[in-house]
């Protein structure tokens, strides 16, 4: 009989597999595991060895957060909480190394150790009604067998006949009350009948003696899976660092401090506010921006200052906050880029698997002032190497050209401030709970220049968490794109309270809706009658055509926030292609040796051995995979994902998150150049999605007839904008798109009933006045004529006033015109065909 044995790596949550343990944790694990092995003694009792296991688990992982001890007749248990009153989370059966008769093996599970686990589990699950058992473990110190409790629940607790026998045994209603009777007469025959269904994780510590005991740190990577397998994150299924639902509060709080914000509580809401008067520091990014805006009278340049608040102070705060968020967004994006570049070059000949720190650029050696930072934004990242000024070419020679709209001045920067306007000599005090330490290892105190503080603070964290299995040597906390997304969303929700949609909700909603939409789209296109993706897989013959159908699906979030739903949708679309076996490179070759799936709201790529994919630009196959993932993401973002939000900060953050998703799979086109990022900003627009001037069914055909535009020319203009090769081409497309929309707006307006009526009234009035000059009228006719002219004049003025009031109505100030803003959802006649999926934040608090 073939048993279902998993290797440690295969058993781990794939998102957890990506999390890098730090060197201190691994060294502690090695020390405690060596102690466990060294203390085993064949002449000692089982109780002695059980205590060794307890000491190892406590010292390595569980003390003081999880109580470990015996419970009743259970050999050993790990509780979900700190004391014995909390529910049992893990059941362990420990045998001495020489007790081979009772210990299970990889060829024979049905031994006493396993039978004991079955009895202990049924007591917890049935007798104590404990629904919180996560895993069961059998070990003899050297060999470890780990079983998921969901398997035990399905095979044992849900079997009515077995549960009846168990209840009868516990109540003393059977022939014997001894546990051996249960093991031999009840458990053993039942286990025999279902052995082929039992899946387990197995490892033998003796296989890891070399990395455990030698001094070569490179060997320690082979211990990572073992370290994670016995951790509370795995055995108790706890949230782990960089889980997309977990906020790193220390990072978040100190970042707010540097910006000049603080989080407060108002009832059940958490609000992000400007520091109170008396607690403000003029060196923070926000306060410095407010001072510059005020002293330079920059608000007077704004066309509609009232949209930023009702008072001068409100306007100063809101404009400064928008600027601060723009600048911080760019800097955090660049920190991810910097980490990516360092990691990418660890496979270079001279780097021996270590990151190349010469690719770091966010530091005071290269950026000594806010003006230098401004130059990095606009003179480096937005320009090809050959187009850069001499003064930045050498300093930033390893920083790639990105071509993204993220590194073009925003409208509000053009009208008010650039980051170069901030003062370099300003300082701020260290955050009271700062992550930064002095040479004695104590929290730093005193004041520090803001730019230096920002760089040192960011450098205290590891932004390179998207790599494979490796150890974090400098013990830095990991910060990845998911965690940043959560932070962006909280900062963005400062006015109304921060409501973050957890990743498991966005992941579930996207999975359920998108998979149904895919099936529906294939059925409509191919005249099929499928109900599941499995049905589609059985019928798909042409992968190229199938990709075209999936890429035609349109998904919209009409209140996009930080873009969390669209990121989840992006990941799900790629996972769907993987499940349909149509994920392929640009040459049409499938990624068949790889599994691409969404785990914990993250896209995870593993090979056939369960190892995480790592990009190595020196490896042809690795290059192929990275290019495929990048262009698949680009295709889906450009063709399938659309969003709207009334908050301009939300729009910026959403665009940023989608750019970050592309950055994760950025690749080298040649030895020095990264693939540039497309201008995906045109898919995420600012406006009030609930208000439109024009009806969704307003007729565009007349506009198309009377203008030189076609729907195809509109689509081409948008597509050219996304992939513009220069600023000039991008600006040209912006003007063209604006002209097209202006023509549409004018023509639709002419067909408005009120406009038509006004046109007819004016025509009638002109006709009457012309008639009066051509013919002589009697006094009565003249009186009637005057009355008619007066009536038409009054009606015309009244209608003109109504039309002007509608135009000037504040409700239409941010109106979003669904009718023509997205050409991707209009057919060739200009009819609105709509989206396949409309998804957004569910109504929950």
SS3 643: strand
Residue 472, classed as helix, strand or coil, is: strand
Q: Residues 71, 81: contact at Cβ < 8 Å?
A: no
Residue 197 located in a structural domain: yes
Classify residue 819 as left (phi > 0), alpha (psi -120 to 50) or beta: alpha
Separation CA 656–CA 434 (nearest Å): 27
- For the beta carbon of residue 71, count every other beta carbon within 10 angstroms: 17
- The domain boundary residue, chosen from 235, 258, 288: 235
* Angle between helices 285-295 and 312-344 in degrees, nearest 10: 130
Task: Compute the C-alpha angle 398/337/363, nearest 5°.
Answer: 65
Instruction: Please tell me the total count of domains within the chain.
Output: 4
Name the pLDDT band for 751 (thresholds 50, 70, 90): low
> Residue 193 domain-assigned?
yes
Assigned domain for 311 exists: yes
Cβ-Cβ contacts under 8 Å for 801 (sequence gap 6 or more):
none
Token readout for 165 is 């026998």
Identify the domain boundary among 431, 466, 492.
Answer: 492
| Residue among 692, 691, 683 nearest 654 (CA) | 683
Whether 98 and 13 map to the same domain: the answer is: yes
Residue 777: pLDDT over 80: no
Closest CA to 128 of 63, 66, 82, 73: 73
Residue 557 lies in a domain: yes
Domain enclosing residue 785, as ranges = 752-813
pLDDT at position 48 is: 92
Report the pLDDT value the prediction gives residue 497, as an integer from 0 to 100.
45
Which domain-ending residue is among 235, 266, 291?
A: 235
Q: pLDDT tens digits for 48-107?
A: 999 999 999 999 999 999 999 887 766 799 999 999 899 999 999 999 999 999 999 999
DSSP code string of 588-599: S-B-TTEEEEEE
DSSP letter at 77? E
Q: Are residues 488 and 514 in the same domain?
A: no
Which among 682, 638, 687 is positioned nearest to 661, based on CA atoms?
A: 638
Given pLDDT bands bounded at 50, 70 and 90, which one contains residue 679?
confident
My answer on whether 760 and 718 are in the same domain is: no
User: What gap in Å lies between CA 431 and CA 454, rounded to an integer?
Assistant: 12
Least confident span in 111-115, 658-662, 675-679: 675-679
- Give the pLDDT score at 498: 47
What distance in Å separates the CA atoms of residue 293 and residue 316, rounded to the nearest whole number? 7
Q: Which pTM value belongs to this model?
A: 0.82
In a domain, 328, yes or no: yes
Q: How confident is the model at residue 166 (pLDDT cuts 50, 70, 90)?
A: very high
Q: Categorise residue 33: left if φ over 0, alpha if ψ from -120 to 50, beta otherwise.
A: alpha
- 240 is a domain residue: no
Within this chain, do residues 507 and 488 fall inside the same structural domain, yes or no?
no
| Cα separation values, 503 from 32, 246, 494, 726, Å | 35, 9, 20, 37
- The angle at the Cα of 106, spanning 105 to 108, to the nearest 5 degrees, equals 60
C-alpha span between 244 and 239 (Å, rounded): 9
Tell whether 476 and 513 lie within a shared domain: no
Tell me the torsion sign for CA atoms 652, 654, 657, 658.
Answer: negative
Stretch (H or E) spanning 770 = helix 753-774
pLDDT digits (tens, 9 = 90+) for 687-699: 988 888 777 887 7
Please state the length of the chain.
845
Q: Is 270 helix (H, G, I), strand (E, B) or coil?
A: strand
734 & 797 share domain: no
Give residue 475's Cα distance to chain centre.
24
Residue with structure tokens 């790596």? 9
The angle, 0 to 180 degrees and rounded to 10, between the axes of the packed helices 23-39 and 46-57 is 170
Are 474 and 532 a contacting pair, CB within 8 Å?
no
User: For residue range 516-560, what is the model confidence (pLDDT) as tens digits?
Assistant: 999 999 999 999 999 999 999 999 999 999 999 999 999 999 988
Do 468 and 514 sit in the same domain of this protein? no
Question: Which of 7, 16, 554 has its CA nearest to residue 236?
Answer: 16
pLDDT tens digit sequence for 726-739? 778 888 888 888 88
Q: Give the pLDDT confidence of 346-373 residue by residue, as tens digits.
A: 877 665 567 788 899 999 999 999 999 9
Are residues 706 and 677 part of one domain?
yes
Residues 301 and 220 in one domain: no
Sign, Cα dihedral of 504, 505, 510, 516? positive
- How high does pLDDT run on average in the chain? 87
Q: Which of 56, 60, 64, 70 is nearest to 82 (CA)?
A: 64
Q: Which of 666, 649, 748 is nearest to 340 (CA)?
A: 666
* Cα pseudo-dihedral 458, 460, 465, 470, rounded to 10: 160
DSSP state string for 790-811: HHHHHHHHHHHHHHHHHHH-GG
Whether 144 and 227 share a structural domain? yes
Q: Say if residue 741 is preceded by a cis peptide, omega within 30 of 0.
A: no
* 761 has a pLDDT exceeding 80: no
Q: What is the DSSP string of 133-167?
A: --EEEEE-SSEEEEEEHHHHIIIIIT-HHHHHHHH
Those residues whose C-beta lies under 8 Å from the C-beta of residue 486, and which sit 6 or more positions away, are 244, 245, 246, 247, 500
In a domain, 324, yes or no: yes
Q: Are residues 762 and 727 in the same domain?
A: no
Q: Do residues 673 and 726 share a domain?
A: yes
Does some domain include residue 839?
no
């Amino acid at each position: 009989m073939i048993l279902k044995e998993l290797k440690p790596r295969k058993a781990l949550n794939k998102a957890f597999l990506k999390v890098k343990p730090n060197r201190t944790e691994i060294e502690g694990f090695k020390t405690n595991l060596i102690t466990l092995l060294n203390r085993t003694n064949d002449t000692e009792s089982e109780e002695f060895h059980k205590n060794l296991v307890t000491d190892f688990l406590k010292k390595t992982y569980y003390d003081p957060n999880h109580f470990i001890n015996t419970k009743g007749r259970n050999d050993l248990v790990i509780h979900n909480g700190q004391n014995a009153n909390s529910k049992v989370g893990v059941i362990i059966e420990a045998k001495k190394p020489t007790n081979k008769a009772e210990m299970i093996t990889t060829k024979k599970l049905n031994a006493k150790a396993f039978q004991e686990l079955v009895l202990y589990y049924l007591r917890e699950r049935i007798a104590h009604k404990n629904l919180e058992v996560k895993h069961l473990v059998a070990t003899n110190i050297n060999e470890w067998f780990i079983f998921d409790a969901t398997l035990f629940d399905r095979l044992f607790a849900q079997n009515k006949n077995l549960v009846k026998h168990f209840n009868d045994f516990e109540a003393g209603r059977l022939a014997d009350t001894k546990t051996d009777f249960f093991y031999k007469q009840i458990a053993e025959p039942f286990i025999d009948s279902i052995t082929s269904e039992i899946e387990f994780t197995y490892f033998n510590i003796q296989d890891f003696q070399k990395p455990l005991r030698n001094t070569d740190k490179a060997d320690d990577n082979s211990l990572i899976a073992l370290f994670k397998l016995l951790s509370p994150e795995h055995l108790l299924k706890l949230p782990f660092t960089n889980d997309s639902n977990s906020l790193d509060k220390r990072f978040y709080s100190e970042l707010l401090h540097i910006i000049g914000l603080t989080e407060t509580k108002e009832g059940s809401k958490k609000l992000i506010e400007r520091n109170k008067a008396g607690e403000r520091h003029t060196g923070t990014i926000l306060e410095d921006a407010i001072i510059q805006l005020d002293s330079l009278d920059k608000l007077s340049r704004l066309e509609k200052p009232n949209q930023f608040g009702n008072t001068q102070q409100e306007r100063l705060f809101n404009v400064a906050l928008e600027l601060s968020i723009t600048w911080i967004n760019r800097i955090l994006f660049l920190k991810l880029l910097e980490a990516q570049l360092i990691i990418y070059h660890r496979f270079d000949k001279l780097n021996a698997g270590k990151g190349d720190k010469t690719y770091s650029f966010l530091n005071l050696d290269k950026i000594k002032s806010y003006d230098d930072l401004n130059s990095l934004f606009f003179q480096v990242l937005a320009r090809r190497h050959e187009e850069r000024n001499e003064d930045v070419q050498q300093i930033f020679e390893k920083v790639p050209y990105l071509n993204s709209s993220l590194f073009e001045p925003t409208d509000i920067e053009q009208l008010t401030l650039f980051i170069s306007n901030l003062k370099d000599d300003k300082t701020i005090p260290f955050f009271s709970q700062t992550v930064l330490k002095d040479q004695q290892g104590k929290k730093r105190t005193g004041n520090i220049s803001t730019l230096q503080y920002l760089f040192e603070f960011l450098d205290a964290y590891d932004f390179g968490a998207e790599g494979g299995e490796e150890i974090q040597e400098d013990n830095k906390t990991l910060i990845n794109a998911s965690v940043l997304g959560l932070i962006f969303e909280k900062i963005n929700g400062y006015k109304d309270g921060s409501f973050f949609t957890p990743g498991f909700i966005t992941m579930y909603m996207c999975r359920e809706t998108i998979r149904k939409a895919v099936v529906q789209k294939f059925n409509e296109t191919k005249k099929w009658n499928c109900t599941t993706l499995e049905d589609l897989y059985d019928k798909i013959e042409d992968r190229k055509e199938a990709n075209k159908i999936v890429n035609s699906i349109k998904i919209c979030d009409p209140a996009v926030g930080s873009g969390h739903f669209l990121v989840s949708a992006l990941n799900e679309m790629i996972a769907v292609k993987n499940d349909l076996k149509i994920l392929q490179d640009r040459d049409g070759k499938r990624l068949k040796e790889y599994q691409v799936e969404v785990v914990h709201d993250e896209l995870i790529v593993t090979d056939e051995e369960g190892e995480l994919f790592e990009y190595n630009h020196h490896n042809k196959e690795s290059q192929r995979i990275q290019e495929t993932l990048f262009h698949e993401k680009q295709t889906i973002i450009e063709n399938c994902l659309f969003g709207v939000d009334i908050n301009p900060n939300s729009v910026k953050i959403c665009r940023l998150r989608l750019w970050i998703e592309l950055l994760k799979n950025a690749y080298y086109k040649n030895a020095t150049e990264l693939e540039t990022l497309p201008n995906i900003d045109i898919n995420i627009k600012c406006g009030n999605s609930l208000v439109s001037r024009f009806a969704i069914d307003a007729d565009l055909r007349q506009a198309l007839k009377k203008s030189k535009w076609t729907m195809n020319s509109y689509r081409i203009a948008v597509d050219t904008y996304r992939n513009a090769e220069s600023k000039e081409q991008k600006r040209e497309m912006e003007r063209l798109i604006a002209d097209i929309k202006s023509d549409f707006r004018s023509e639709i307006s002419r067909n408005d009933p009120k406009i038509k009526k006004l046109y007819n009234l004016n025509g009638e009035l002109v006709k009457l006045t012309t008639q009066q000059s051509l013919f002589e009228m009697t006094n009565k006719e003249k009186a009637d004529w005057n009355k008619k002219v007066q009536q038409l004049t009054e009606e015309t003025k009244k209608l003109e006033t109504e039309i002007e009031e509608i135009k000037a109505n504040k409700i239409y100030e941010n109106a979003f015109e669904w009718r023509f803003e997205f050409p991707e959802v209009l057919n060739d006649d200009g009819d609105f065909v709509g989206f396949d999926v409309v998804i957004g934040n569910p109504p929950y608090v």
